[in-house]
Amino acid sequence: MPNRHLARTIAMQSLFCWDFNGKKEQNFEDIIKNNFANFAPQFDDDGFVKSLIKGVIDNLDDINKYIMKYATEWPLEQITIVDRNVLRVGIYELLMSEEVPPKVAIDEAIEIAKTFGGESSGKFVNGVLGAIYRDMPDKDKTEAPAEKDQDSKENAGSSAPRSAES
């Protein structure tokens, strides 16, 4: 599993634990440490994990507004905890992080949703993130500054957001 993909998985799992426990834990150090010990004991790049979690938490209200706007059929608290937190990481990377190309953010979120979510999680996440992507200004869809990022190498051949049939 490529490093950035594993880091996103650990970030989503950490956010899942936080959300599952009523969002009481504000210090993610113990959650992250526990997830690394249980799921990736040989992986030592917690910097990207911490930056993802910090980015999601710092922008949580805005991210949740995007979820509510683009998943209109689902009240936020009725979206499964896995899907909700996959969307949070995906929306953060898609709209608020300049490190990750938009298409990579979408593809990564879909893959994590398929791995950890339910039968239709991948399609749900693709639908929400794809709709956000379509509404983004064209200038924000370019990948020039981030194409050299490690994510581009991991997802070579990745194109536009997947269609709902994916």
What pLDDT digit, counting tens, does each position of 70-95 carry? 999 999 999 999 999 999 999 999 99
Residue 107: pLDDT above 60? yes
Confidence of residue 26 (pLDDT cuts 50, 70, 90): low
Contacts of 141 (CB under 8 A, 6+ apart): 102, 133
Q: Is the Cβ–Cβ distance between 91 and 103 less than 8 Å?
A: no
Residue 140 is which amino acid? Answer: D
pTM across the whole model: 0.81
What's the average model confidence in pLDDT over 4-30?
A: 86
What pLDDT shows up at residue 2? 61
Closest-CA residue to 158 (of 94, 124, 87, 108):
108
Which of the pair, 131 or 21, is modelled with greater confidence? Answer: 131
Give the mean pLDDT of the chain.
Answer: 83
Q: Is the Cβ–Cβ distance between 89 and 12 less than 8 Å?
A: yes
Q: Is the Cβ–Cβ distance between 120 and 74 less than 8 Å?
A: no
What pLDDT shows up at residue 149? 43
What percent of the chain is modeled with pLDDT above 70? 81
Could you give the CA distance from residue 4 to residue 49 in angstroms, rounded to a whole number?
A: 9
Confidence of residue 160 (pLDDT cuts 50, 70, 90): very low
3-147: CATH topology is N-utilizing Substance Protein B Homolog; Chain A (1.10.940)
53-60 long-range Cβ contacts below 8 angstroms, 24+ apart: 53/11, 53/14, 53/15, 53/28, 55/92, 55/96, 55/97, 56/11, 56/15, 56/88, 56/89, 56/92, 57/28, 59/92, 59/96, 60/88
What's the average model confidence in pLDDT over 138-145?
A: 68
Question: Residue 45 has which token pair?
Answer: 């790049």
